[in-house]
Structure 1
Amino acid sequence: MTLGDTLKGMVGLDPTGHADPDMKAVLDALKSLNPKPIEKCTVAEARNQPTPTDAVKQLMTQPAFSARPSLEFEAVRSEDRMIAGAAGAIPARVYTPQGDGPFPVILYFHGGGWVLADLDTYDATPRAMAAQSHAIVVSAHYRQAPEHRLPAAHDDAFSAWHWVVANAASLGGDPGKLAVMGESAGANLAINVSIRARDTGMHRPVHQALIYPVASNNIVSISYEENRNARPLNKPMMLWFMQNVINDESDLTSPLLDVVSANLTRLPPTVVITAGIDPLRSDGEKLVQKLHGAGVRVEHRNYRGATHEFFGMAAVVEAARDAQTFVSLAQRQAFGAVPL
């Protein structure tokens, strides 16, 4: 049997049957909220659908999960503010850990396919990183498609980097210890910030953490076919996101989206996290190969029983706790701190 025959046989399967038990609990909770398939929604409808974050909150009301030990992220304080984007002010949330600064500073971008989600949907990850990496985390929003198509979000992301570089000290941060991080579409924005900072001769990040990044235009990869019916992200959803963000088909070959085709030399030390039950897994794996080939120091960890979006679910998913610990260790080492 050829690989093609194998993939054809997988088309009708539900890969979430291989999820870890706690991951499966999140998926079941999400299903109980009756979300409409995103690819069948208008953009307005899609922005109002239940999210994996809502599923986690539902689980947290159940004794089996609410009785778990606290992650002690409550000690992180946050402040909402507006910062300079490429075409006007954009919302941001600044997370500051306990203790005395100056702290390292991490610029974080949330996911949502450049179309959905906001700072509230992705509050858990930057809050956790602030606590575990002992860093100030600036979670920056960006203009979203289809109202603002490529490269609006990327331009806002780089403007946010400008803002962090200029304002790190006033935030209580160390301007010499600045990093970038993102999830999914946000990871795509993060690595593009690093690339653009290098190309423009601007202050460069000392580290980048890329969580299940959008990094390729290959929609027939092994993971896209294995996980075409996955939850909470599947192949039809990714096609829906892409159609909303591109201006025309030529954008699909832009290195902003097809990052694996970009010049990846002289980028900062990198951590890539992938999930087994995720159409984007092959994107992350290919990016790791390309970064290695470009001489970039890169660490990669894949979580076979986890799905897309798992990283911020540390309150209920054990794989997320491990992944967050792995990333924060790499960040602290890049900042020159003694690991916790």
Structure 2
Amino acid sequence: MYIADEWLALERDVLGQRPLISGTVAEVRAAYAQTSEQLAGLYPSPSDYPVKDEKLVTDTGIAIRLYTPTNTNNRSENLPVGVFAHGGGNVNGGAWASSFEDRMCRYVAQHAGVIVAQVDFRLAPEFPAPQQLNDTFEAYKWLHANADKFHGDPSRFFAFGSSLGGGIAVGVALKLIDENLGHLVRGVVALCPALLHPEFVPDEFAPLFKAYEETVDAPLQNSESMMKFYNYNGGTAQRMNPYVFPALHPGLRRLPPVYQAVCEADPVRDDSTVLKHVLDKHGVSNKMDSYPGLPHYFWLWPQLKSSEKFHRNVAEGVKWVVSTMCDVNGTT
């Protein structure tokens, strides 16, 4: 497995070890919180971003953290909306619990000129899968129905997520399409998404799905620790569910334009390989940026040159997805 020189230098000069998020649920949550706190001091202050930060709550009690850019030319303009599902293996994090997800949402809101709505879905194992998908699905519909309350453009909504949240984003889009609500989702942005359980890989995808074999010693997230997350969050029990693991869904050809970002030293690398294969096969418009030799969620560390590149590329990916949409007047 190739590891990029800049990551090896970070391990040697800054971290002093190869990091790995693993252990019991309690240990994983403690490590996640500690990492979030340590990294917060390396990021720009939230007040440095021209973004309004507010809380909404759906009729069913799901909290949403709304990031609205204040640097647009016309502040009365209705803006595109990305409904964001955070990472953390569905057992960590939350809309107010992560400095690095907060940074991502603020950066995208500012640089892509969109509203980002981060869903505070309930966590496993207290609420096993598919609860996270269901909470995000309900929040998505509520946000769309109430878009006029926060200057959101209902004709330009997209599903957005990272890691397990990236899988949720794809699953939510497919669930909307299956329930004849496909007009509510005009694009998908999925960052290193988890889309396929390694214990249930269809034969047609097996030649493409090699990352778990190759990432036994990967930093941050390796093949063993990823399996622990699936066991903790109920994903293993749901491994045949085509919304929880949407690479299984027979209707991928019906997806709107998709942007993916892929870390190549990452057990979920080939989840994206499979999705891109299917999208290309069916002529679905899609783009993908890859990061050779870099592990899952490498962009947390701003010391890496590739971290800034990643954030820029995600903002450009969001802008590309939005550019494929039509506004309420039918123009792009």
Distance in 1, Cα, partners of 2:178 & 2:243: 13
Matched, 1:177 2:156: yes
Corresponding residue number in structure 1 for 2:219: 231
AA aligned to 1:330 is W
Corresponding residue number in structure 2 for 1:330: 320
Per-residue CA deviations over 1:265-308 (Å, capped at 9, x if unaligned) read: 22110011101111111111111111222332111121113221
Corresponding residue number in structure 2 for 1:198: 177
> Which of 63, 81, 85 pairs up with 1:105?
81
More deviation, 249-258/134-143: 249-258
Can you give the 5+ residue segments of structure 1 that lack an aligned partner in the other structure?
1-14, 61-65
Q: Secondary structure at the match of 1:241?
A: helix
Corresponding residue number in structure 1 for 2:277: 289
Distance in 1, Cα, partners of 2:28 & 2:109: 30
- Whether the 8 Å contact between 2:221 and 2:296 is mirrored in structure 1 is yes
Cα distance, 1:71–1:27 mapped onto 2, change above 3 Å: farther
Q: Secondary structure at the match of 1:228?
A: coil
Matched, 1:308 2:296: yes
Can you give the 5+ residue segments of structure 2 that lack an aligned partner in the other structure?
200-205, 328-332
Q: Give the CA deviation at 1:125.
A: 1.3
Q: Give the CA deviation at 1:128.
A: 1.1
Cα distance, 1:20–1:134 mapped onto 2, change above 3 Å: farther
- Whether the 8 Å contact between 1:92 and 1:140 is mirrored in structure 2 is yes
> Which of 223, 228, 231 pairs up with 1:243?
231
- Whether the 8 Å contact between 1:95 and 1:130 is mirrored in structure 2 is yes
Q: Secondary structure at the match of 1:144?
A: coil
Distance in 1, Cα, partners of 2:119 & 2:221: 23
Cα distance, 1:145–1:72 mapped onto 2, change above 3 Å: closer
- Whether the 8 Å contact between 2:107 and 2:311 is mirrored in structure 1 is no
- Whether the 8 Å contact between 1:184 and 1:213 is mirrored in structure 2 is yes
Q: Secondary structure at the match of 1:161?
A: helix
More deviation, 168-177/218-227: 218-227
> Which of 62, 78, 97 pairs up with 1:90?
62
Corresponding residue number in structure 2 for 1:165: 144
Q: Secondary structure at the match of 2:22?
A: helix
Distance in 1, Cα, partners of 2:318 & 2:23: 37
Q: Give the CA deviation at 1:32.
A: 5.2
- Whether the 8 Å contact between 1:79 and 1:94 is mirrored in structure 2 is yes
Distance in 2, Cα, partners of 1:81 & 1:131: 20
Per-residue CA deviations over 1:106-128 (Å, capped at 9, x if unaligned) read: 11110111111122311111111
AA aligned to 2:81 is V
**What percent identity do the matched residue pairs reach?**
26
Distance in 2, Cα, partners of 1:233 & 1:165: 34
Q: Give the CA deviation at 1:326.
A: 3.2
**TM-score when scaled to structure 1?**
0.81
Q: Secondary structure at the match of 1:123?
A: helix
- Whether the 8 Å contact between 1:214 and 1:257 is mirrored in structure 2 is no
Q: Give the CA deviation at 1:227.
A: 1.5
Query: Mapping of 1:1-340 within 5 angstroms?
Result: 15=1, 18-21=3-6, 23-24=7-8, 27=11, 31=15, 38-41=21-24, 43-50=25-32, 53-54=36-37, 56-57=39-40, 59=42, 74-84=49-59, 88-98=60-70, 99=72, 100=75, 101-119=77-95, 120-121=97-98, 122-202=101-181, 203-218=183-198, 221-246=209-234, 251-262=238-249, 263-311=251-299, 316=304, 317-335=307-325
**TM-score when scaled to structure 2?**
0.82
Q: Give the CA deviation at 1:313.
A: 5.2
Matched positions, count: 307
Q: Secondary structure at the match of 1:117?
A: coil
Cα distance, 1:315–1:160 mapped onto 2, change above 3 Å: farther
